[in-house]
Amino acid sequence: MRKRLLLSIATVLLASAVLTATEPEKVLIWPSFGAPILRFGFRKFEQQDSVEHAHNYSVQTSIRNLWDKPVRNAVFALTVLDINNVPSGSGEVTISSLEPNQTMNLKIAITASHRPASVQLRPTSLPPELDALIGQY
């Protein structure tokens, strides 16, 4: 009887832990073609405040250099999409220096009209060695 009670309690605790687990990290590999160079991981978007239809969010982000060379001075435009895949806001990601196999963590601020459901990245400024590499595809 005691064993069943302990097993029931353990099952309830495990189920509640699963239900309260954070949403999975959204991962983007860049570029989406050819050899991967950067891995972006976006955790849960946290609402900070809002004014009328503008909502401010922050997202803890990890960026890993998958390339065999350092990535220096790269800037990416970050577009957030709502659940209907409609762009609802934007932000910017700047990489000043990231060595091979190094991971950097940063918090990105975003202003959006709706809760972000997914993200898109587009390079706006790349170092010459990356610009030339991407131009090959």
> Is a pLDDT exceeding 70 seen at residue 61?
yes
Greater confidence (34 vs 137) lies with: 34
Q: What is each CA distance from 55 to 22, 52, 87, 115, in whole angstroms?
A: 21, 8, 14, 8
> Is a pLDDT exceeding 90 seen at residue 14?
no
- Give me the torsion for CA of 56, 58, 64, 70, rounded to 10°: 60
pLDDT score at 101: 97
Q: What is the mean pLDDT of residues 5-15?
A: 37
pLDDT score at 113: 84
Greater confidence (129 vs 67) lies with: 67
pLDDT tens-digit readout, 91-100: 899 999 999 9
pLDDT score at 3: 42
Q: Which CATH architecture fits 24-135?
A: Sandwich (2.60)
Give the pLDDT band (50/70/90) at residue 36: very high
pTM, 2 dp: 0.76
Query: Which sequence spans correspond to the domains of the chain?
Result: 24-135
Average pLDDT, the chain: 81
